[in-house]
Amino acid sequence: MLALAAGGPAAARTLAVGPGLEFAAPSGAARAAKDGDIVTIAPGNYFDCAIWSAGHLTIQAARPGVVITDKTCAGKAAFVIDGNGVTVSGLTFQRIRVPDGNGAGIRAEGHDLTVRDSRFINNEVGILDGVRGGSLVITGSTFSANKGGSPEHPLPAVLAGGLDLLRIERSVFEPARGGLHVVSSALRTDLVDDRLSDDGGGMSGPLVSIAGGTVTLTGNTVDLGPGAADRPGAVLVFGDAAAITLRGNTLVEPTGAVPLLRNWTGIDVTADGNDVPANAVAVSDAGSAYHRLRSRAAALRAAAWNAARAARHQVATLARMLKLLP
């Protein structure tokens, strides 16, 4: 029995971060952390960054007032999270920038990240998760005044690549300094009970852009106040979508020129119980055929270019085999 106990998993530890504690800064705790540990950070401003390699960590504020600011690791983010199944709770990330213009509060490079009750203020990107597979779940968090990328290619507050699931619930997206709030290419994207606004008109394009998959928008409030820039829709869905559900959302839009959802997928939307201005619409598919035609043409051009490159490679390989080329 003693042998079995010795071979069992180690008990989770609590690592304390803060002035006069076990670790003075999060980076020290990150280097020491093992799978399953709990990292508790005392209030204060930490001019620090960390790479979290262990899995199934909980990284949390001991009390409100924990700010991670002004520093990045690996030219990527304040927190680079390599481990799987990590939870971040109660932290503020601010003023994160890198030369490439995509400095993030959190850069997820492992699977299944959960972010709760955190704030992302004046960064280039709030959360960037380009991992294929797994999930990103954001709950009760705030994103404000973020701006990254370039004027031609602005970056959002939340950028999700080929995940299995992106779910954002009970979160607030205050006006950014440009760009979008959410961009998702996940197989499933759920936005539930969120508030998204651009009441100053400083953002460009839709507030949310979703490339295909299964899309569920429920109980959200989208506020396009006076002066908001023209855009195809508050939310734009395009590409190969499996299903789109739009239920119980509210659009605040004084001109009536912008639909709640612009649907460029070619499939029908299940929509009910949405509150939009009298002169606005909940769903519009205007421009869908043109967009899909352009996308198809671009795909054909890319396929032709790839085929030509492969053919050139095969010809060169054959010529070398026949000693026609050096």
Q: Residue 247 has what DSSP assignment?
A: E
Distances in whole angstroms, Cα of residue 245 to Cα of each of 156, 190, 191, 270, 276: 23, 10, 11, 5, 16
3-state helix, strand, coil in the chain (%, to 5): 15, 40, 45
Where on the phi/psi map is residue 85: left (φ > 0), alpha (ψ -120 to 50), or beta? left
Q: Taking Cα atoms as reference points, which of 277, 278, 259 lies closest to residue 269?
A: 259
Note the pLDDT of residue 5.
45
Note the pLDDT of residue 75.
96
> Strand 235-247 vs strand 208-218: parallel, antiparallel, or unpaired?
parallel
Maximum C-alpha span of the chain: 74
For the purposes of burial, counting CB atoms within 10 Å of the CB of 313, is it exposed (0-12), middle (13-18) or buried (19 or more)? exposed
Token pair of 54, please? 């262990």
Spatial distance between the Cα atoms of 242 and 212, rounded to a whole number of angstroms: 7
Spatial distance between the Cα atoms of 178 and 201, rounded to a whole number of angstroms: 9
Q: Residue 22's Cα: distance from chain center in Å?
A: 33
CATH superfamily of 12-293: Single-stranded right-handed beta-helix, Pectin lyase-like (2.160.20.10)
The answer to whether 38 and 14 have CB atoms below 8 angstroms apart is yes
Residue 288: partners with Cβ closer than 8 Å, 6 or more residues away: 263, 264, 265, 266
Note the pLDDT of residue 13.
96
Note the pLDDT of residue 94.
98
H or E element at residue 291:
helix 288-321
Domain boundaries of the chain, sorted by first residue: 12-293, 294-326
The answer to whether 17 and 28 have CB atoms below 8 angstroms apart is yes
pTM for this model (two decimals): 0.87
Token pair of 101, please? 């213009």
Q: Low-confidence residues of the chain, pLDDT below 70?
A: 1-10, 200-201, 227-230, 287-313, 315-326
Note the pLDDT of residue 256.
77
For the purposes of burial, counting CB atoms within 10 Å of the CB of 24, is it exposed (0-12), middle (13-18) or buried (19 or more)? middle
Note the pLDDT of residue 92.
98
For the purposes of burial, counting CB atoms within 10 Å of the CB of 173, is it exposed (0-12), middle (13-18) or buried (19 or more)? buried
Q: Taking Cα atoms as reference points, which of 132, 259, 255, 242 lies closest to residue 207?
A: 259
Q: Taking Cα atoms as reference points, which of 239, 320, 244 lies closest to residue 282?
A: 244
